[in-house]
Amino acid sequence: MNRRQQIKLTEGIDWPIMGLYMGIVFVGLLSIFAAEYREGDNIWNDIIHLNKNYSRQLMWLGVSAVLATIIWLTDSKFFTATANLLYAGGLLLLLLVLGIGKDVKGSQSWLVLGGFQFQPAELTKLCTNLALAKYLSSIETDFTKLRSRLIAVSLALIPCVIIILQSETGLALVYFSFFLVMYREGLPGVLLVIAFSGIVLVLSALLVDKNILFIIFSVITVLVIYFSRREIKRNRSRLALILGIWAFCSVFVMFVVPFAFTKVLKDYQVRRIEVMLGKENDPKATYNTRQSMIAIGSGGFIGKGYLKGTQTRYDFVPEQSTDFIFCTIGEDFGFFGSVIFIGLYVALLLRIIFVAERQRSTFSRVYAYGVASIVFFHMAINISMTIGLAPVIGIPLPLVSYGGSSLMTFTMLIFIMLRLDADRQMVLR
Amino acid sequence: MSVYNQPRKRVIQFIILGMVILIITRLFFLQVVEKKYSKLADANAVLRKVVYPSRGIIFDRKGRSILSNDAMYDLVVTPINVKNIDTAYMCEILQIDKEEFRRRITGAIIKNGSRRVSVFASLLPPEMFGRLQESMYMFQPGFELVQRQIRSYPFNAAANILGYIGEVSPQMLQKPAYSAYNQGDYLGMTGLERTYESVLMGQRGIQYLVKDNLNRPQGPYEKGEFDTAAIAGKNLRLALDVDLQVLGEHLMRNKIGSIVAIDPRTGGILTMVSAPTFDPNLLTGSYRARNFSRLFSDTTKPLFNRAIQAGYPPGSSMKPLTALIALDEGVITPSFGFPCFGAYTYCGRAIACTHHNAGHAANLRLAIANSCNAYFVHLYRMEVDAAKWGGVKKGHQKWHDYISSFGLGHRLGVDIPGESPGKAIDTAGMNKLYRGQWNSCSELYVGMGQGQVVATPMQMANAMCIIANKGYYYLPHFVDKIDNDDTELLTKFREKHTVAHVSDSSYMPVIYGMEDVVERGTGVSAKIEGEIVCGKTGTAENNAIVNGKLAKLKNHSVFVAFAPRDNPKIAIAVIVENAGFGSTYAAPIASLIMEKYLHDTISVKRKPQMKTLLEYNTLDPVVREKSKLDSLNGASAKMTSDEILKLYFRD
């Protein structure tokens, strides 16, 4: 009886994802340990007294295991049933934090519960993902309609706006990853092209003088009108479209970007963006990125060996057990180790997409794609910022960076997906 | 639906893979292609630390260390790295005001530039060091504590011999000879510390340490694989006997003058006292600069090493040398006598002699014993006028060659710097002095050690070695042996200098004459129980310009001796300036030193004599008044004569 139950308990679990999850978490623990451990430290003592990040992370891992077990034992229908409720609760929590939250490093996004700090912005990713899945899978939703699309986009962007108000821009940006899910569910591909063009536009607005850009836009517009003059003769609205694009780009470059930079973004964010673009050389602003690149670059091909990195172990890299945890891997294990480590993520992401595609229920598929998008966005931006490809925005490396909120959120994200996958024969709405 | 969306899944997969390829490409350039990052990482995290070797120790002939090493700390500053520190707190620890703080920083920038390390506060007193070390993390990386080795001197003795170490000056650093030194390094400035700098300093090592972002050392880099070990300086083993040195310094207290004792068998210097002396510990540690200026400006000139730097007329102690030259040249035999009746009158003026009785210079032995002036000025004339030279000019030059080979008139090359050559006039000098018109009468005083001959106490002691050895000597030197030595520094001291070829039978009258001086002549106070001492008193006249007029000052008390007569083990010269007769001061001092050396103890019978000597005060009252030496003097500064006597006599 007992044995049969045990078999039942692990039945349906997707072992590749389970293995990759455990592998990445293990690397994370090793990395946090490497960033903190000093020769002569009493490891057991530190673990028992929870006075080191790695010992606390170990504790959070325990908590996460309990949460995972609870999720695994929960019926899948629970998640569809409570998705909207959880979303509403998450929004309330975000608003609550905005009111009474604790100010940590310039952002008001932390709740203090007992002795622990907790960041609801992490948790609302899960709620939003559930709510989005719930909405897209409901019978009334016709995602080909503009109205449905607007509702879906709003679901993703409302928490994003609140989080921006909390000054956690990095975490807020993560919500844009839901566009990937919506693309999968039918959002026109042209939007991705527009988004990409938008990024190019912003970058060029930052890099090139706005007057020169205006001239370039005008020249391109004139050329386009000249070459498509026959088409324009046939269809006058085409001219309006072209002129509209020209007007939008010009206004955007001439007014919106300068306005955003002076009024909306914080000084440090502007500086970070400028540093990344190579426009500014302020040593204080470049310090983090510079030290991080030195640490990773000095790892060489095979790395310095575990616990032998001089940069990460002697506090040259700031935030090295949280946002810059990848430095430890880069320095200790080199290019070789980094590629294997990134390979673990790629394998996880591709497996999640594989799992998503085998779902019968739209809810499960959307949810799984959401998980993939969030993990991908976090991983790509986090690693990019440590190697100077992206500005330093504080988002953690999933399952690796030190932090209870982050670890628990990603654990729950993945285990709900595993639960849904185990019940993929069911139709969930 | 699912089929329709199939390409979208592909697009998403491509987006993921595209991003990952972008990241991996960047990583490849960062980690594999670009090499600068590992250098930057090393610059960040590797601290190159110079490890100073311990400086060589100096031991005396019985293996006692005359000096040892102590550690002290300097606070050094790199002005460009001084940022955001609590200046007020640092000022409070160092007990300076902010104005002084600014002044020192500016001074450091002017001296060494803002990127190089300068000393901010040197040789911190222990309590200051303790407080600074606790709070050092607040002042880094602009300030660092650097260990310095300083010397300490357990016997408080031999200051002028050992010398002192000081910081290398910017002027010295400009010279190629000091290329091995860095700003802030210490090196020997005088004395043995300077002469043997190359062996004492050892070889500096380099240690690579890992440091953290606040420049705090975290342990060895790569387990010390790239470190170079520091090689400790080599130890010096001296011929010097520190007991004799201390005794000599005791005996010379409140006197001006010097003692030099040499082992005639080796040339090793047994003791070299220059009085007044000072406690060598004054020139180490936190108050070095202040003490140095006090010593430097003192009226009694304690930094002046009289034993090798002061020139004195050798006086009667020159007479045995005059005799030796005459014997070696064959112009006399030991039985040569001179009819002196109280003065030498052959040169148109009377040179007084202390003895009037007939026959006091009937032969060489008697002439030496009675120190007959007439006899020896006559010997000088005989030497230079000898027919075989064909003229006084050649004869005098020959005399000068002899005197030179005896080590007079030029530097002997002792192994401490600053030696004075003394003076012995040669023919060219005579020609210049008398414009070519001179004869053997002109400077006949040199035969009795006055006039155009001046010697340092060390030269006099060395001359005694020649007499004691019957014609040869070794260059006087302090260092007998260098541990693990592979240098050629000591070879010149092993070389035997034979300067006269006189048969023993000719020699003995000189020695017997000197024996008679101590047995029944002017040197009776130098007698040592159970030893045959050969000595010669001298009472050197000296003149000095006082208030613009040439005045005759009180005579210097001079005594030279060696003992025992057969197989001499010690040769000594003692000069007490402006003290009067050689027999009163110099002779008993020399005798006590020799007794201590030969018997390792001083006979109780001599206690009263020693007490008298300790209490003699021959310092000029005016000089004494102006001197601040009491607080600075060496081993015997604060001791009463009874306290000193207790060190030597048990009761």
For residue range B259-297, list pLDDT tens digits in order.
999 999 999 999 999 988 888 888 887 777 888 888 888
- Chain B neighbours among A 274-333 (CB < 8 Å)? 291, 293-301, 310-311, 313-316, 330-331
Q: Could you tell me which of A347, A307, A332, A394 has the C-alpha nearest to residue A22? A: A347
Report in angstroms the alpha-carbon separations of B164 from B204, B221, B284, B308.
Answer: 20, 36, 8, 17
Residue B130 has a pLDDT of 82
| B4 pLDDT more than 60 | no
* Residue A82 one-letter amino acid: T
Both tokens of A292, joined, read 């991080």
Which residues in B527-592 belong to E strands, given as ranges? 534-546, 549-563, 570-576
Residue B635 has a pLDDT of 54
DSSP A307-321: T--HHHHTT-STTTT
| B350 pLDDT more than 80 | yes
**Chain A residues with beta carbon closer than 8 angstroms to that of B23:** 342, 380, 383-384, 387, 389
Nearest by CB to B38, from A184, A298, A389: name it: A298
What is the average pLDDT value for chain B, to the nearest integer? 84
CA distance B121 to B136: 14
| B345 pLDDT more than 80 | yes
Contact yes or no for A330/B227 (Cβ under 8 A)? no
DSSP B42-98: HHHHEEEEEEPPPPPPEE-TTS-EEEEEEEEEEEEE-GGG--S--HHHHHHHHT--H
Identify from B23, B211, B212 which residue to disrupt to test chain A contact, counting A C-beta atoms within 10 A and taking the largest count.
B23
Both tokens of B466, joined, read 């020649």
Mean pLDDT within B593-613: 90
CB contact under 8 A, A315 and B210: no
Q: Could you tell me which of B505, B519, B508 has the C-alpha nearest to residue B369? A: B519
Task: Show the domains of chain B with their CATH numbers.
Answer: 47-238 (3.90.1310.10)
Residue B1 has a pLDDT of 45
CA distance A93 to A111: 9
**Chain B residues with beta carbon closer than 8 angstroms to that of A338:** 24, 27, 31
**pLDDT tens for residues A310-347?**
777 777 777 788 889 999 999 999 999 999 999 999 99
| B114 pLDDT more than 90 | no
Q: Indicate the burial class of A352 (C-beta count within 10 angstroms; 0-12, 13-18, 19 or more).
A: buried
CA quadruple B320, B322, B324, B326: dihedral, nearest 10? -140
- Chain B neighbours among A 406-425 (CB < 8 Å)? none
The answer to which of A75-89, B421-435, B561-575, B628-642 has the lowest mean pLDDT is B628-642
What is the average pLDDT value for chain A, to the nearest integer? 85
Contact yes or no for A294/A316 (Cβ under 8 A)? yes
Length of chain B, in residues: 651
Q: Could you tell me which of B541, B574, B544, B545 has the C-alpha nearest to residue B556? A: B541
Residue B630 has a pLDDT of 56
**Chain B residues with beta carbon closer than 8 angstroms to that of A355:** none
Indicate the pLDDT class of residue B459, thresholds 50, 70 and 90. very high
Which residue on chain A is closest to B218 by alpha carbon?
A: A314
Residue A284 has a pLDDT of 54
Please give, rounded to a whole number of angstroms, the shortest distance from the CA of A301 to a CA of chain B.
Answer: 5
Count of CB pairs separated by less than 8 Å, A with B:
118
**Chain A residues with beta carbon closer than 8 angstroms to that of B38:** 297-298, 300
CB contact under 8 A, A330 and B37: no
**pLDDT tens for residues B558-583?**
899 998 998 999 999 999 988 777 67
Contact yes or no for B204/B50 (Cβ under 8 A)? yes
Q: Could you tell me which of B530, B521, B596 has the C-alpha nearest to residue B559? A: B521
CA quadruple B23, B24, B29, B30: dihedral, nearest 10? 70
| B183 pLDDT more than 50 | yes
Indicate the pLDDT class of residue A105, thresholds 50, 70 and 90. low
CB contact under 8 A, B8 and A380: no
Q: Could you tell me which of A13, A18, A371, A343 has the C-alpha nearest to residue A184? A: A371
Please give, rounded to a whole number of angstroms, the shortest distance from the CA of A320 to a CA of chain B.
Answer: 13
Length of chain A, in residues: 429
Is any Cβ of chain B less than 8 angstroms from the Cβ of A273? no
Mean pLDDT within B597-604: 90
CB contact under 8 A, B32 and A295: no
CA distance B165 to B305: 17
Report in angstroms the alpha-carbon separations of B438 from A399, B390, B394, B449, B577.
Answer: 109, 15, 12, 19, 32
CA distance B447 to B383: 10
Cis peptide before A398 (omega within 30 of 0): no
- Chain A neighbours among B 624-643 (CB < 8 Å)? none
The answer to which of A413-417, B53-57, B306-310, B549-553 has the lowest mean pLDDT is B549-553
* Residue B588 one-letter amino acid: P
Ramachandran region, residue B595 (left: φ > 0; alpha: ψ -120 to 50; beta: rest): alpha
Mean pLDDT within A146-169: 87
Which residue on chain B is closest to A296 by alpha carbon?
A: B31
Q: Could you tell me which of B254, B92, B196, B203 has the C-alpha nearest to residue B585? A: B254
Both tokens of B425, joined, read 């006039």
**Chain A residues with beta carbon closer than 8 angstroms to that of B213:** 314-316
CB contact under 8 A, A372 and B12: yes
Residue B17 has a pLDDT of 92
Tell me the torsion sign for CA atoms B28, B32, B36, B42.
positive
CB contact under 8 A, B45 and A314: yes
The better pLDDT of the pair B390, A351 is held by A351
**Chain A residues with beta carbon closer than 8 angstroms to that of B40:** 294, 297-298
Sequence-ordered list of residues with C-beta below 8 angstroms from that of B89, at least 6 positions apart, any chain: B135, B138
Please give, rounded to a whole number of angstroms, the shortest distance from the CA of A261 to a CA of chain B.
Answer: 27
CB contact under 8 A, A338 and B219: no
Residue B2 has a pLDDT of 47
| A367 pLDDT more than 80 | yes
| B35 pLDDT more than 90 | no
Q: Could you tell me which of B16, B522, B523, B596 has the C-alpha nearest to residue B261? A: B596
Indicate the pLDDT class of residue B631, thresholds 50, 70 and 90. very low
Nearest by CB to B31, from A39, A300, A389: name it: A300
The better pLDDT of the pair A150, A276 is held by A150
- Chain A neighbours among B 11-50 (CB < 8 Å)? 11-13, 15-17, 19-20, 22-24, 26-28, 30-32, 34, 36-38, 40-42, 44-46
Contact yes or no for B475/B415 (Cβ under 8 A)? no
ipTM: 0.86
Both tokens of A400, joined, read 């690796």
Please give, rounded to a whole number of angstroms, the shortest distance from the CA of B46 to a CA of chain A.
Answer: 8
CB contact under 8 A, B32 and A301: yes
Q: Could you tell me which of A68, A56, A50, A61 has the C-alpha nearest to residue A24? A: A61
Cis peptide before B313 (omega within 30 of 0): no
Provide the CA B232 distance to its chain's centre, in angstroms.
22
Residue B316 has a pLDDT of 82
CA distance B295 to B142: 35
CB contact under 8 A, B13 and A353: yes
Residue A341 has a pLDDT of 96
Residue B215 has a pLDDT of 63
CA quadruple B12, B14, B17, B21: dihedral, nearest 10? -140
CB contact under 8 A, A335 and B16: no
Give me the residues paired with residue B576 across strands. Answer: B257, B557
Contact yes or no for B85/B138 (Cβ under 8 A)? yes
Mean pLDDT within B333-338: 89
CA distance B177 to B168: 12
| Pairing verdict, β B58-59 and B236-238 | parallel
Residue B628 has a pLDDT of 66
